Structure 1
Amino acid sequence: MHDIRAIRENPEIFDAALARRGLAPMSSDILSLDEERRAAIHAAETAQAAQNAASKQVGAAKAKGDEVEFERLRALVAEKKAEVAAMQARAVALDTELRDKLLLIPNNPLDEVPQGADEADNVEVRRWGTPRELGFTAKEHYQLPAVGAAMDFETAAKLSGARFVVLKGGVARVHRALAQFMLDLHTDEHGLIENITPVLVRSETMLGTGQLPKFAEDSYETTNGWWLIPTAEVTLTNYVAGETVDEAALPMRMCGHTNCFRSEAGSAGKDTAGMLRQHQFEKVEMVTICRPEDAIAEHERMTKCAETVLERLNLPYRRIVLCTGDMGFGAQKTYDLEVWLPGQNTYREISSVSTCGTFQARRMNGRYKPAAGGKPEFVATLNGSGLAVGRCLIAVLENGQEEDGSVTLPAALHPYLGGKTRLVDGKLV
């Protein structure tokens, strides 16, 4: 969420940032509402002071035995009390209106983020690895003979509908091995602390990271008001909601493996074949909470953590910096990692790593106490996939496919598969 003081001090900078997002200027309307809100608060405080003064006079008149004056003042206090209540209610309503407006405005992009309208304007930063020359026509993951019936969309459709999958046998074990491999790498080598968090959260938890109120249709709400998380970013980042942590506790570097749930309301008709875009999927999420001045360096470090997963699995990928028009709502800057998928003959997103500055912290009121003293400051938050497990499974299957219909599995997974190295007809061998 934006700092209203920063908008007051530099409205032109605020509007310029919105323009980079392709949005119309908003500072005038926001500041007009803010001025009305502050005037209402001042009026309520003035009326409250008048009420308090009259209340003291009531007591003095009573002590003097002046019943006429006592009754007059008591009536005045009652009148002032009703007036104060109305003014306070008006001030609260305006404060809520302003907050609701600010909650719908996206984060300001950093100056270094490329200007652009959509994904066509994203900029490739670098590539790693060279796609294999297969020597035969590549198949998509769900077409591979090695997968066979172990990737079962028909049963999933019977149980739940479209965009679900049942994984069985060797495919299920490879999927599990990938998640375990990611967690071990992040905790043993990257210094992240593993967390197992709930997948059902309160509305205020979703609001804190920006999923609400703007993107409610993209998530699932239960009948009793809980929300199914779209990613562990929601739970891990909210650890500091309403908290003030010591500077010595920063940076907080965490990861968590969870089921994730997305309605995909805005992606109708996209990637309907296979398991590339599902309503339920698993992800190993990374979150960092740090001082704002450390956020840019943390963004590079976190992106490298995700890249290391792909490199250890020998999966070719490229790093993309998203343009202003394609960047997420809460991000200041985002790197997407796109893995090579032979079956589609293209790179597809497998991780998105974003630095959000203090944007989320303001929404959730997460602060830190500077070691040198002074007022508590808002923390900075970062999040990124490390990685999406299902998409990583797709990449492993497609990049490891052989002409005989089998799949050769990455050496990094062999210890997690009991020494098995290949997938044949849904079974590990």
Structure 2
Amino acid sequence: MLDPTLLRKELQTVVDRLKSRGVDFDTERFNALESRRKAVQTETESLQAKRNALAKQIGQLKAKGEDASAVMAESQAVPVRLKQLEEELAEVQGSLNEWLMAIPNLPHASVPVGGSSDENVEVRRWVPQAGADGNPAPLGFEPKDHVTLGEPLGLDFDMAAKLSGARYAFMRGPIARLHRALAQFMLDLQTNVHGYTECYTPYIVNASTLYGTGQLPKFKDDMFAVSKGGGDDDPKVDEQGKSYAREDQYLISTSEITLTSVARDSILADADLPLRLTAHTPCFRSEAGSGGRDTRGMIRQHQFDKVEMVQIVRPDTSYDALEQMVGHAEKVLQLLGLPYRVMLLCTGDMGFGSAKTYDLEVWLPAQNTWREISSVSNCENFQARRMQARFRNAQGKPEFVHTLNGSGLAVGRALVAVLENGQQADGSIVVPEVLRPYMGGIEVLGD
């Protein structure tokens, strides 16, 4: 959520930066809410001063033995009005917060201005064997796509469609083992080499958690709801006897949600930072806005696996952490031997909560193009403000943390890339060397 203080002090700057994202901020609406807030606070402060003055006057009159009834009657009206003003202020703040919950983050100054992915900027690429055009050299035969390559290995979209419908995958045998090997390799790399703590998280979260990380309210249509908040007759006491409010619940679209939310409603010690967390989870997305794109295969599915990286850091270190996390994702691709490029997203292509994002795009020979396999973002204090996630700084004062998240990597898309880049002319697949220990030493699949 945007900082209301920044809006009050540098409104035009905020308006201009949002405009670079294609968002028109309603300044008239903000100024009207701000005017109401100021009026309520001014009257509140005036009445508080009056209450204090009347209390002093009553004390003086009683000390002199004089009649204080008229002043006491006047003072009794003050708390009633103060209560009304408190409710008015809560209403104004509630309206402002509800509105700001739907406004995206401000782009960092280093983010290129642009309206679409066409204006993203390539930062670097890693291509072990490049052709004349700088892309990976051709395989030397007509490449097959991952669907054709995967079917003999146990990739079964017909079974998935029978069980669940379109945009699901069923895997058995060798390809299921390869999928598992990829996830285990990624987890081991992130924990043993890059210093992340492995976590196991719920796959279902309540609405408050999604508001905190920014999936709600804007992306409600992309979430799978699994339950509605209960009525008054439903139990609202947990196993420890603590009461709680029942909320709508949703399947997670990424474990960024659960990992980032460990800091929700907390004040962390300075010594606790940075937090580096990782988890392998399924992710569930309705793809409501995908418009029929990538309907063939595993590129865009309702259910897919991902190894997620999250860092929760001090504000002055977050951009160093961003570059570090991009390197952590790159290392996965390098060890798998997969050609990729790093793209800096422009303002118009960034995610809702991001201040700066890098995408990693892997080469897919059958499509003869680059496809996103990881997205790494610095959200600065945008999520922390929504979650009330803070730390106690060197001066001992609570301050919002910065949160970062990134894929390390999307397992299904990594599987696609391994199949297509590792294919041989006979349709067999060379298993990347780093995966062979997880595959019982198998070097080639389908030979």
Question: What TM-score, normalized by structure 2, do the two folds share?
Answer: 0.88
Residue 365 of structure 2 corresponds to residue 342 of structure 1: yes
One of 187, 190, 194 as aligned partner of 1:183: 187
Write the deviation string for residues 108-127 of structure 1: whole angstroms up to 9, x where unpaired: 11111111110011111111
One of 221, 224, 228 as aligned partner of 2:225: 221
- SS of the counterpart of 2:348? coil
In the alignment, is the contact (CA less than 8 A) between 2:307 and 2:411 conserved in 1? yes
Residue 158 of structure 2 corresponds to residue 136 of structure 1: no
Give the root-mean-square deviation of aligned CA atoms.
Answer: 2.5
Identity of aligned residues (%): 50
Q: What is the CA distance between 1:294 and its match in structure 2? A: 0.6
Matching of residues 113-152 of structure 1 within 5 Å: 113-129=111-127, 130=129, 131-144=136-149, 147-148=151-152, 150-152=154-156
CA distance in 2, matches of 1:164, 1:217: 18
**Counterpart in the other structure of 1:163:** 167
One of 396, 402, 405 as aligned partner of 2:418: 396
In the alignment, is the contact (CA less than 8 A) between 2:153 and 2:173 conserved in 1? no
CA distance in 2, matches of 1:413, 1:76: 80
Q: What is the CA distance between 1:328 and its match in structure 2? A: 0.8
One of 284, 287, 300 as aligned partner of 1:264: 287
Q: What is the CA distance between 1:46 and its match in structure 2? A: 4.4
One of 286, 308, 318 as aligned partner of 2:309: 286
- SS of the counterpart of 1:338? strand
Q: What is the CA distance between 1:257 and its match in structure 2? A: 0.7
Write the deviation string for residues 179-203 of structure 1: whole angstroms up to 9, x where unpaired: 0000001111111111111111121
One of 361, 380, 387 as aligned partner of 1:364: 387
**Counterpart in the other structure of 1:297:** 320
- SS of the counterpart of 2:112? coil
The verdict on how the C-alpha distance between 1:404 and 1:43 changes in structure 2, with shifts beyond 3 A counting, is same
Q: What is the CA distance between 1:51 and its match in structure 2? A: 6.5
CA distance in 1, matches of 2:157, 2:86: 57
The code of the aligned residue for 2:101 comes to: L
Residue 198 of structure 2 corresponds to residue 194 of structure 1: yes
Q: What is the CA distance between 1:239 and its match in structure 2? A: 1.1
**Counterpart in the other structure of 1:384:** 406
Write the deviation string for residues 350-406 of structure 1: whole angstroms up to 9, x where unpaired: 0000011111111111111123x2421111111000000000001011111111121
CA distance in 1, matches of 2:398, 2:146: 50
CA distance in 2, matches of 1:360, 1:81: 36
In the alignment, is the contact (CA less than 8 A) between 1:251 and 1:288 conserved in 2? yes
Q: What is the CA distance between 1:85 and its match in structure 2? A: 3.4
In the alignment, is the contact (CA less than 8 A) between 2:226 and 2:250 conserved in 1? yes
Matching of residues 100-111 of structure 1 within 5 Å: 100-111=98-109
CA distance in 2, matches of 1:288, 1:149: 37
**Counterpart in the other structure of 2:3:** 3
In the alignment, is the contact (CA less than 8 A) between 2:227 and 2:249 conserved in 1? yes
Write the deviation string for residues 240-282 of structure 1: whole angstroms up to 9, x where unpaired: 1111111111111111111111111111201011111111111
- SS of the counterpart of 1:222? strand
Q: Which moved more, 1:359-368 or 1:42-51?
A: 42-51
The code of the aligned residue for 1:33 comes to: L
Residue 254 of structure 2 corresponds to residue 249 of structure 1: no
Q: What is the CA distance between 1:41 and its match in structure 2? A: 3.4
The code of the aligned residue for 1:382 comes to: L
In the alignment, is the contact (CA less than 8 A) between 2:153 and 2:174 conserved in 1? no
CA distance in 2, matches of 1:364, 1:285: 19
CA distance in 2, matches of 1:138, 1:8: 57
CA distance in 1, matches of 2:102, 2:37: 18
The code of the aligned residue for 2:358 comes to: Y
CA distance in 1, matches of 2:433, 2:153: 24
The verdict on how the C-alpha distance between 1:27 and 1:248 changes in structure 2, with shifts beyond 3 A counting, is farther
In the alignment, is the contact (CA less than 8 A) between 1:132 and 1:399 conserved in 2? no
- SS of the counterpart of 1:86? helix
- SS of the counterpart of 2:349? coil
Q: What is the CA distance between 1:340 and its match in structure 2? A: 0.5
CA distance in 1, matches of 2:302, 2:207: 20
The code of the aligned residue for 1:135 comes to: G
Q: What is the CA distance between 1:61 and its match in structure 2? A: 10
**Counterpart in the other structure of 1:18:** 18
In the alignment, is the contact (CA less than 8 A) between 1:140 and 1:343 conserved in 2? yes
CA distance in 2, matches of 1:56, 1:171: 81
- SS of the counterpart of 1:325? helix
In the alignment, is the contact (CA less than 8 A) between 1:258 and 1:283 conserved in 2? yes
The verdict on how the C-alpha distance between 1:403 and 1:10 changes in structure 2, with shifts beyond 3 A counting, is same
Q: Which moved more, 1:189-198 or 1:32-41?
A: 32-41
The verdict on how the C-alpha distance between 1:55 and 1:161 changes in structure 2, with shifts beyond 3 A counting, is farther
CA distance in 2, matches of 1:51, 1:228: 51
CA distance in 1, matches of 2:207, 2:431: 41
